[in-house]
């Protein structure tokens, strides 16, 4: 069965490899497949988080639309610079920002 967001291209004379791309089509990783069996490749694709469809035209659940992409890591909040380009001073927890 086909997997969502997985495209297979046959390149004559090239060793088979899985090329993982970002949502911007930037290459993230290349995984050689030459020494793997079909079962091992299917297991790898499943472990990477590709959604396997029942049929080629089956709908894909919303939570898997961008699979296997992982959500971006959440960064700690930072203070935005003030209009004059300077970072505002730290405030005490009890201090009201308008004071």
Residue 6 falls within a domain, yes or no? yes
Question: What's the pTM?
Answer: 0.61
pLDDT in tens, 8-40: 888 999 999 999 988 888 899 999 999 999 999
Residue 87 falls within a domain, yes or no? no
Q: How many domains does the chain have?
A: 1
CATH assignment of the domain containing 53: 3.40.30.50
Residue 26 falls within a domain, yes or no? yes
Burial class of residue 51 (count of CB atoms within 10 Å of its CB; 0-12, 13-18, 19+):
buried
Q: Are the C-beta atoms of residues 67 and 5 closer than 8 Å to each other?
A: yes
CA nearest neighbour of 47 among 27, 31, 25: 31
Residue 88 falls within a domain, yes or no? no
Domain hosting 68: range is 1-72
Q: Looking at residues 33-62, what average pLDDT do you find?
A: 93
Residue 79 falls within a domain, yes or no? no
Residue 41 falls within a domain, yes or no? yes
């Amino acid at each position: 069965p086909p997997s969502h967001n997985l495209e297979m291209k046959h390149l004559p004379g090239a060793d088979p490899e899985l090329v993982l791309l970002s949502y911007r089509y930037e290459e993230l990783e290349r995984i050689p497949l030459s020494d793997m069996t079909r079962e091992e490749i299917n297991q790898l694709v499943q472990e990477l988080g590709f959604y396997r469809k029942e049929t080629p035209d089956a709908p894909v659940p919303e939570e898997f639309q961008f699979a296997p992409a992982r959500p971006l890591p959440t960064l700690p909040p930072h203070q935005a610079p003030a209009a004059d380009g300077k970072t505002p001073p730290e405030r005490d927890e009890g201090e009201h920002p308008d004071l």
